[in-house]
A and B are shown apart, each in its own frame.
Chain A
Amino acid sequence: MKRFSSLLMASLVALGLCVAPAGAAPNYPAKPINMLCVFGPGGAADLGLRVVAEYATKHGFTMNVVNMPGGSGTQAAMQVLNSRPDGYNVVFGSTSFVTLPMMKRLGYTIDDFIPVADITDMPLTFCVRSDSGINSFDEWMALAEKNPGQYNYGSPGSITSQRQFLSVLLKDKFPNASVNHVPYASGHEVNTALLGNELKAAFGVPGTNQNYLKSGEFKLLAVTSDKRLPEYPDAPTFAELYGDKYYWVSFHGIFVKKGTPEEIVKKLSDIVGQALADPEVIEKFNKIGITANYRNYKDFVPFLDNVKAQSVEALTLLGLI
């Protein structure tokens, strides 16, 4: 009997732990974590998230990746906002996760979320055809200024990071140039158009341009990363050419609902950090064609503030906010 009652007590305590407010959360995670991905399955960013989730699942954080590309990712964001701030619903988003609420009335902004960790950053790559004879971004701009309206560039969407970046750069450094932006549905279509001589430049990300850069059909004129890309040591960064302001990457990171206890945020951030330091994970990232750019929940905040400032400047310039 004594044994039974102690068992009963233990079960009651256990039960109590289950219903206790998540704020205490000593045993987080007690159940699988939903990783809501704003991208469809199969893209580089989605694959990267899956690699991290696989690692975390092996180390006690069972993570289920759920793709919710609906409504340009707003559905994933709303599902997180409609759930309890207990760290079991996490959204994986990119730059549009920050910019979309600035442009449209969504009923939420990025400030309703707590940044947890940055997983990968993609620099933007400005490519031309190798047979164009153009060797630097300055040369390209000189031709564009000489032939107004004739020098255009393509990017994979209508309001892309590429377009935002270039519109700021053009305003600052080449105010007289008239350069048209041509939107496509994907980076592959941009490549096709440059191969077909329809465009004067393709502004993409390394993952989609690399096949043609390696085959020699495209030439990389400049990249928006902070350092030169190891695969293309001859291509300068925009920051080298025009100043540190033009370090501009597209981040891909995870967020939880505001109000989630700091302990949980820290635990999540740490497991991502642990994953991104794992050599096996890094090797898988290389295969996908992305890099591990871990920023923990503290470093991610100032980085995002800079992204917000960049976006506000670009979107105001484009007349979108």
Chain B
Amino acid sequence: MDIVLSAIATALSPACLLANGVGVALGIIFGALPGLTAAMGVALIMPLTFNMPTVEAFSALLGMYCGAVYGGSITAILVGTPGTVAAAATMLEGPGLTARGESKKALDMATIASFIGGTFSCIMLIILSPLLAKAATAFGAQDYFAVAIFGMAVVASLASSSAIKGGIAALLGLYISTIGTDPIYGDLRNTFDIPQLFSGLPLVPVLVGLFAVGQILVTMEQAFVKNSQSSINVEISRKGLSLKDLTSNAYNFLRSSIIGTVVGIIPATGVGTASYIAYSTARSASKTPELYGKGVLEGIAATESSNNAVTGGALIPLLTLGVPGDIVVAIMLGALMIQGLVPGPLLFTEHPDVVYGIFTALGVSNILMLVMGLMAVRPLAKVLLVPTTILMPAVLTLCIVGGYAVNNSTFDLYIVFAFGILGYLMAKINMPASPLLLSMILSPIAETNFRRALVISDGDYSVFVTSPISLGVLLVTLGVIVRTVLVEIRTRRKLAEAEEQFVSDSVQ
């Protein structure tokens, strides 16, 4: 108990509060600016946290995470472009409210919904993760394998809107993850005798390149080549939220927060998925579904509480199993390792100070986000007026510093640029980058544990079905795969029918 209290005290110390506040403020700005994302923000400030004590580092990282997930809603509501993928669903309702002069109402709803969702998931994290950590000591290699395969099946199912492109990105991630030292026998794979590749491609430079540099190049191209710098109006109306707006959404908040937390726990799914599911659930549960799309507060309440609920949910499998729940916490996995901490059940018994410090920091992040959102949304929204042509080169400089700082290695800068170009090309052909990253992180977990399970069982494959955890997870995985294939076949058939119809129409 003393440890818990002192951990809470650490997270509330001035240094941690400052780190957290700076994280939240930067996060809101990163989230609000189109082209800058939560993943990018966390990857960029991570190198700055290396020399901080663990709880302080995580205060900054979690603040950034929460702030960025929330910040996207500001742009979605005021400008009608999503600041981040998390706010894509918010964009369906926000502009309608702004057009009616109710932007302050919409922004306040987004702020309060984000706070409720974030706090709910933080409480779930505090309740569930110690329980799961206890259960996780029973997790064997075959069970970790099953969880990783489940995550990869989810990646595949999410990519089904552009199945082939998502699939190619995921396969690229698989290939990239094989570079380096074989985890079981220690042989070298795909290193082409380049010693810098012996320990594999370093994660942070890859991330910074793929998610930051690539996106910067795309944004700069739009700003310079197409000269599409439009004048943006960030005036905010006066009329605020009424208490009734909140109470009438109480059930909506709860439902959306649960959806967000569960989606957060499932490996590989993140804020984008959560807000769409919560939005469509809220619409089908609504008494006035016909108003959706024209600007209803309910919609914003649903999307914003669910996407911020992902934050705590995604930390649950990260801290207890070392399997990240979404892309952003996958980056935090790196931060945890650099602090010399290994996520997993033992983290809870060996470093309770850190675990409870992280819990408290997440709660603090949500409170700071609420305060800043309600008090400072006007000045913060002004960052949208900074011209892209000034902003992006500044962020690019941060990318280079960040890419170098992780390993003090010039080679890593080549990686940043190579992946920056790859990220740019992928964006140009509408290929999603997240399947690449997720398969790059999940496939080594799957491979290592598959082979480890076989070494332990002395070559007996039955371990994958005799372990109840592994069997259960693999069955669910099978369900996900079957469903994905069926949906894919159905859409293909519909497309084919439509095409036939079109052909026969044109013949007639």
Residues of A within 8 A of B (CB): 40-43, 66-72, 74-75, 78, 100, 104-107, 149-150, 152, 157-159, 180-186, 188-189, 191-193, 195-196, 198-199, 211, 320
Contacts and interface: CB of A to CB of B under 8 A. Distances in A.
Interface string B175-199: 0000001111110100001011111
Query: Sorted from nearest, which 4 A-B pairs have the closest CB atoms?
Result: A42-B340, A158-B186, A149-B458, A74-B195
Interface string B122-162: 00000000000000011111000000000000000000000
A188 B458 contact: no
Nearest to B347: A188
B199 A71 contact: yes
Interface in B163-215: 181-186, 188, 193, 195-199, 202
B280 interface: no
A192 B195 contact: no
Contacts of A199: 456
B53 to A, nearest CB: 11
Contact of A181 (B346, B411, B455): B455
Contacts of A158: 181-186
Contacts of B412: 70
A78 B197 CA distance: 14
Given A183-B183, A195-B137, 14 more contacts: A41-B50, A42-B339, A68-B409, A69-B199, A70-B196, A72-B198, A75-B407, A104-B195, A158-B185, A180-B455, A180-B456, A185-B342, A189-B342, A192-B137
A181 B183 CA distance: 12
B408 interface: yes
A176 to B, nearest CB: 16
A71 B196 contact: yes
A250 B199 CA distance: 20
Contact of B456 (A67, A70, A152): A152
A78 B195 contact: yes
A200 to B, nearest CB: 9
Contacts of A192: 137, 344-346
A185 B198 contact: no
B338 interface: yes
Interface string B330-349: 00000001111010111000
A78 B47 CA distance: 23
A41 B408 contact: no
B182 A69 contact: no
Given A150-B458, A158-B186, A196-B140, A66 B408 contact: yes
B255 interface: no
B290 interface: no
Contacts of A41: 50-51, 338, 340
12 contacts: A67-B408, A70-B199, A71-B195, A71-B199, A72-B181, A74-B195, A75-B407, A183-B183, A183-B184, A188-B342, A195-B137, A196-B138
Contacts of A150: 458
Contacts of B2: none
Given A158-B181, A189-B342, A196-B140, A67 B407 contact: yes
Interface in B395-414: 407-409, 411-412
Contact of B455 (A72, A152, A188): A152
Nearest to A148: B458
Contacts of B342: 185-186, 188-189
B195 A75 contact: yes
Contacts of B459: 149
Interface in B296-350: 337-340, 342, 344-346, 350
> By CB atoms of chain B within 10 A, which of A106, A192, A320 has the most?
A192
B198 A69 contact: no
Contacts of A188: 342, 344, 346, 350
A183 B184 CA distance: 6
Contacts of B50: 41
Given A75-B411, A152-B455, A196 B184 contact: no
Interface string B438-459: 0000000000100010011011
Contacts of A196: 137-140
Nearest to B140: A198
A223 to B, nearest CB: 22
Nearest to B199: A72
A100 B188 CA distance: 11
B266 to A, nearest CB: 23
Contacts of B350: 188, 211
A69 B139 contact: no
A74 B455 contact: no
A191 B345 CA distance: 10
B346 A191 contact: yes
A10 B240 CA distance: 76
Contacts of B198: 71-72, 74, 100, 104
Contact of B195 (A42, A106, A185): A106
Contacts of A183: 183-184, 186, 452
A68 B202 CA distance: 12
Nearest to B51: A41
A197 B104 CA distance: 57
A104 B346 contact: no
A64 B318 CA distance: 34
Given A40-B338, A70-B411, A75-B196, A159 B455 contact: no
Contacts of A198: 140-141, 456
Contacts of A157: 186
Nearest to B453: A198
B140 A42 contact: no
A191 B139 CA distance: 13
A142 B456 CA distance: 19
Contacts of A195: 137, 345-346
B455 A182 contact: yes
Contacts of B199: 69-72
Contact of A43 (B182, B185, B186, B340): B340
Interface in B80-118: none
Nearest to B337: A40
A71 B197 contact: yes
Nearest to B345: A192
Nearest to B188: A104
> By CB atoms of chain B within 10 A, which of A71, A104, A105, A186 has the most?
A71
